[in-house]
Structure 1
């Protein structure tokens, strides 16, 4: 039996990465639902611009949910797919009954900051495992989200 998987990564490293990516998947799923809730429930003078921006964010988050799940499969493992698993694994907590525009933006900002911090951990694990595929994917996410954090901070003043 080989100690590497189908894409040439050490089985143990792939397993460790898949576990981390399942945690990331959980964070993306919870964050997606939070942002979807902000989109549905936001009120206030900036309703129109925030409603549209939140839709942009949750659409992108949904794409990343699929990409992360597919990366887990590429590593030879199964993505978690039960919401109960997501709430257990996620560092991002459900944000309920938020409708104030500024509070919604702060929730989005906090979610992206949490993702960036956790993705940096994954990037380190992927680099140590010589997993360029995961490292590249995560690096791209971090770059995009750092800019978003800057923009949300500027929005909040």
Structure 2
């Protein structure tokens, strides 16, 4: 059986499950970046305050794109923060005000996002889901560069 956009229903359901975990991870990464933006202190305040805002704005766009992709392949996106906390592969960060610690936390989160997106990319290819595959490919390309930059910042 196929859904209304011609994808195998069973494979789409499996993709929805994986995308909901990814969506949850993005929501936690977003809140971590937002928290760092609000709470950063120290000599790097001015540069990191701006960078964290740039990062959380990018993450917020992806949250919306992921939820809409889930809807497009006929799934239901998770939409309760309690669900995000339980499904996320990224840990919620609390009380971090130190620049290097905040950057290292974001770096670990983006590393996890890339890993998850590579798995979904393979799953999407198997399902012949070009839309999801393309989205994952774009995210991976963008985030690989960000990981390099965050690592360079940390030295």
TM-score, structure 1 length as denominator? 0.98
Equivalent of residue 37 in structure 1, options 32, 35, 38: 35
Please state how far the C-alpha of 1:18 moved relative to its aligned partner.
0.6
Spell out the pairing of 1:98-137 with structure 2 (5 A cutoff).
Answer: 98-137=96-135
- C-alpha separation in 1, matches of 2:20 and 2:89: 12
Task: Give the distance between the partners of 1:56 and 1:113, measured in 2 at CA.
Answer: 18
After superposing on structure 2, the runs of 4+ consecutive aligned residues of structure 1 that deviate more than 2 Å are none
Number of residue pairs aligned between Structure 1 and Structure 2: 155
Q: What are the residue-to-residue correspondences of 1:4-153 with 2, within 5 Å?
A: 4-153=2-151
Please list the CA deviations of residues 11-53 of structure 1 after superposition, one character each: whole Å capped at 9, or x if unmatched.
0011000110000000000110000000000111110000000
Deviation at 1:107?
A: 0.9
Q: Deviations over 1:128-150 (max 9, x none)?
A: 11100000000000000000000
State the TM-score, normalized to the length of structure 2.
0.99
Secondary structure at the counterpart of residue 56 of structure 2? helix
Q: Distance in 1 between matches of 2:42 and 2:122?
A: 41
What per-residue deviation string (whole Å, max 9, x for no partner) do you get for residues 87-115 of structure 1? 11001010000000110110111110010
Q: Which runs of 5+ in 1 are unaligned?
A: none
CA distance in 1, matches of 2:121, 2:38: 33
Give the CA RMSD over aligned residues: 0.5
Measured after TM superposition, the shift of residue 79 of structure 1 is 0.3
2: distance between equivalents of 1:110 and 1:38? Answer: 14
